[in-house]
Amino acid sequence: MKIVKMTATFGTLNRQTLELKPGLNVIESGNESGKTTWCAFIRAMLYGVRTDERSRAGSTPDKKRYLPWSGAGMEGTMTVLHGGEEYELVRLTRQGLLGECEATRAGTAEPVPELSGRSPGDLLIGASEDVFRRSAFISHTAMRVDNSSELEKRISELVSSGEENFSYEEAHERIQKLKKRVRNARGGGEIPEADREAEKLGDELRAIEEASESSVRSEQERLGLISAAEKMEKYIVEKERWDKKLGMRRLSAARAMETIKAKELESARAALNEGGRAVTEGKVALARDAIDAAEEYKRRAEERAEELREAPAPEETRKNAPVFGFIAAGLGVVMAVAGAVMKNIPLLAGAAVVIAAGLAAALTGIKKNKERAELSRAAASRYETASAEAERELGAAVERRDKLLEELGCSPEEGEELLQKVRNAEKEADAAARTAASLAYLECYDPDIESAEEPEGTPANRELLERTRGRIAELEMQEARLGGERAHLGDPAVIATKLEAVNERRAELLDFEDCLMTADAALDEAAREMQSRFAPIVGARAAELLGQMTGGRYAAVSFDRGMAFKTRLEGDPVARDSAFLSEGTADQMYLAVRLAICRLVLGGDEPCPIILDDALACFDDERAGQAMALLADIAKTRQVILFTCRARDAELAAKYDEKI
């Protein structure tokens, strides 16, 4: 295929036209003149503008990058020569972008359906856009060659069975997707899901089993408690009847005792009037008081008699009272005689004083003796009177005592004893009555109560029975809850069937995973085999082309399955990675590789054009000349279109123009 003419409203191009010739075409123009835009336009006319591309960091999709600057919609025409005939490809604007391709034979309106549609380049180029981009479409900004499933398929078609149906990258990607679908590093995938589902179903079965076991235990405990409650109730009923029987006996005994104590009280009260006695609390008290009064009067009479016996005699008082006065007067007389004899005046004066004092004392004593005698006689008279009064009072008290004792009919001690017996009997009768009244609640009107017997078995009471019934109710609620849980969890048979199915699916997935591992290993082996077959072909051709561009300086080009290229200097045993090459040499290596791939995958009787966008930008003059010679040589069999901003390239191309 060859491009004859193009007209474009595309990006900076506004209805501009470019005519091309067979062989080598070098379009030289300055920056921002639309060189890259023409390259993009060629690709867009052949394969269309992708509408699904999204903006990325450092990259703008063609649908935005090449919107016409004039504000019009994208559109364009391209005249191509293919199979000896000219065709006109037309793309009109559709929603601002290039629409579907409409192909006609040049100079006619006759449509060409096989070239119409979205991607006529598939037929004209003989490969997909992906292969075209990595081979015949060479841009300075994207010189490196990376791998793709389409390119692999194309190479596989040419170096193996001839069927364009194998791509290591595509198959490897599909296997990796299947492996991730089966199991991925984040814990997802069908196998982990099956594991989780199996674990969940297992947990549900265990929960149902635990709920069933708990329900069985609960039911067993409940039935045991029901039996125990029935025995408790029977025991309690029998015990209550037995207690009522014992209560009736206690009540009967209390009432019998009440009767006995009432009779004892009646007997004690009767003893107070027995034999003509009239014993009362008052009479006993009066009799006791009378006895005490008699005793008191007796004591007083004895005291008066004793006082009377101890009173002094009056005559003794008269004899002894003035003796000391007369003795003093006699002593004064003696002193007076002595003074007269001695003619002692002071002594005489003293004797006179003593005599006077003695006589005065004697007279006073005599007087006092008389007074005492009178007092003694008066006291004796009073003592006698008091003694006589005491004797009379004693007689009256004894008489009153004897009369009260005669009325009482017994001694106060005996009366008090009889009264104490009555008091004791009253207390006992009252206590017996209160006891009988307090036990009245034990009254039982069951005629068969006497048939009650003492219960046998484990003792129980109402409180224990109620606690047992409460526990039974709790167990009933627990069983209902467990039943609800089992119903909510589902049928264990259904869950077991699901678990079995999940385990079977899991086993199948594990087998499938093993198959994927085996397939991946086999794919790696096949890819290595493919690499070993086509890499030498491409490497040898690329080395040949690189040698032409570098004057034989580089003798070999090699690459791995990931399209990591290396080259080796002539005479150097070690191949160098592209990272160790200068930018120009690296571009030369990649240009050689692309041209080699293009020759391999886009050859044939009518090869497609090679489009170069400033591909020689980093070449020095010498290597640019060698590269131009190579392109001119290629242009002998296929169209070469080089867009450049360097006059040097156009001048170099002019040297080979006549030779093409």
SS3 call for 122: helix
Which 8-state DSSP code applies to residue 129?
H
Query: Going edge to edge, which strands form the sheet with 576-577?
Result: 554-559, 565-569, 576-577
Distance CA 656, CA 321 (A): 202
The confidence score (pLDDT) of residue 657 equals: 67
Q: What are phi and psi of 535, to 5 degrees?
A: -60, -45
Distance CA 42, CA 324 (A): 188
Mean pLDDT over 531-545 rounds to: 76
Mean pLDDT over 593-601 rounds to: 87
CA 552-555-556 angle, 5° bins: 145
Cβ of 83: how many Cβ atoms within 10 Å?
11
Q: Residue length, the chain?
A: 660
The confidence score (pLDDT) of residue 163 equals: 43
Q: Residue 353 is which amino acid?
A: V
Give Cα separations from 401 to 151, 291, 294, 398, 652 (angstroms).
158, 6, 7, 5, 181
Distance CA 581, CA 404 (A): 160
SS3 call for 553: coil
Q: Nearest to residue 340, comparing CAs of 349, 329, 331?
A: 349
SS3 call for 590: helix
The confidence score (pLDDT) of residue 600 equals: 83
With tokens 């997909």, the residue in question is: 128
pLDDT band at 219; cut points 50, 70, 90: very high
Average per-residue pLDDT in the chain?
84
Q: Is 646 left (phi over 0), alpha (psi -120 to 50) or beta?
A: beta
The helices-and-strands tally (H runs, E runs) of the chain is 17, 12
User: Which helix (DSSP H) or strand (DSSP E) does residue 152 occupy?
Assistant: helix 149-159
pLDDT digits (tens, 9 = 90+) for 228-259: 999 999 999 999 899 999 999 999 999 999 99
SS3 call for 147: coil
pTM of the predicted structure, to 2 decimals: 0.51
Higher pLDDT, residue 555 or 606: 606
The confidence score (pLDDT) of residue 58 equals: 66
Higher pLDDT, residue 307 or 585: 585
Distance CA 338, CA 330 (A): 13
pLDDT band at 351; cut points 50, 70, 90: confident
The confidence score (pLDDT) of residue 642 equals: 95
The confidence score (pLDDT) of residue 184 equals: 87
Per the structure block, which two tokens stand in for 447?
A: 């005629």
End-to-end CA distance of the chain, in Å? Answer: 17
Helix axes 345-408, 323-342, angle to 10 degrees: 180
Q: Nearest to residue 242, comparing CAs of 91, 451, 74?
A: 451
- For the ranges 6-10, 172-176, 337-341, 455-459, the maximum mean pLDDT occurs at 6-10
Q: Nearest to residue 201, comparing CAs of 489, 509, 508, 510?
A: 489
pLDDT digits (tens, 9 = 90+) for 14-69: 999 999 999 999 999 988 889 999 999 999 999 999 888 887 766 788 889 999 99
The confidence score (pLDDT) of residue 165 equals: 47
Q: Residue 597 is which amino acid?
A: I
Whether the predicted pLDDT of 333 surpasses 60? yes
Which 8-state DSSP code applies to residue 609?
P
Give Cα separations from 484 to 99, 135, 286, 473, 490 (angstroms).
66, 71, 93, 17, 10
User: Which helix (DSSP H) or strand (DSSP E) does residue 487 occupy?
Assistant: helix 462-489
The confidence score (pLDDT) of residue 396 equals: 85
Whether the predicted pLDDT of 167 surpasses 60? no
Contact predicate 65/71, CB 8 Å: no
Instruction: State how beta strands 13-19 and 85-94 pair.
Output: unpaired
Reported as half-sphere exposure (CB side, CA atoms, 13 A), residue 496 has a value of: 6
Distance of CA 18 to the CA centre of its chain: 76
Per the structure block, which two tokens stand in for 346?
A: 């002071």
| Beta bridge partners of residue 97, listed in sequence order | 94
Q: What DSSP string describes 503-532?
A: HHHHHHHHHHHHHHHHHHHHHHHHHHHHHH
Q: Residue 204 is which amino acid?
A: E
Mean pLDDT over 277-281 rounds to: 80
Per the structure block, which two tokens stand in for 194?
A: 């099956």
With tokens 């491009």, the residue in question is: 3
pLDDT band at 162; cut points 50, 70, 90: very low
Give Cα separations from 145 to 377, 561, 592, 596, 601 (angstroms).
175, 12, 11, 12, 14
Which 8-state DSSP code applies to residue 142?
G
pLDDT digits (tens, 9 = 90+) for 285-312: 887 788 888 888 888 888 877 777 766 5
With tokens 């039996």, the residue in question is: 227
Distance CA 598, CA 158 (A): 12
Higher pLDDT, residue 198 or 374: 198
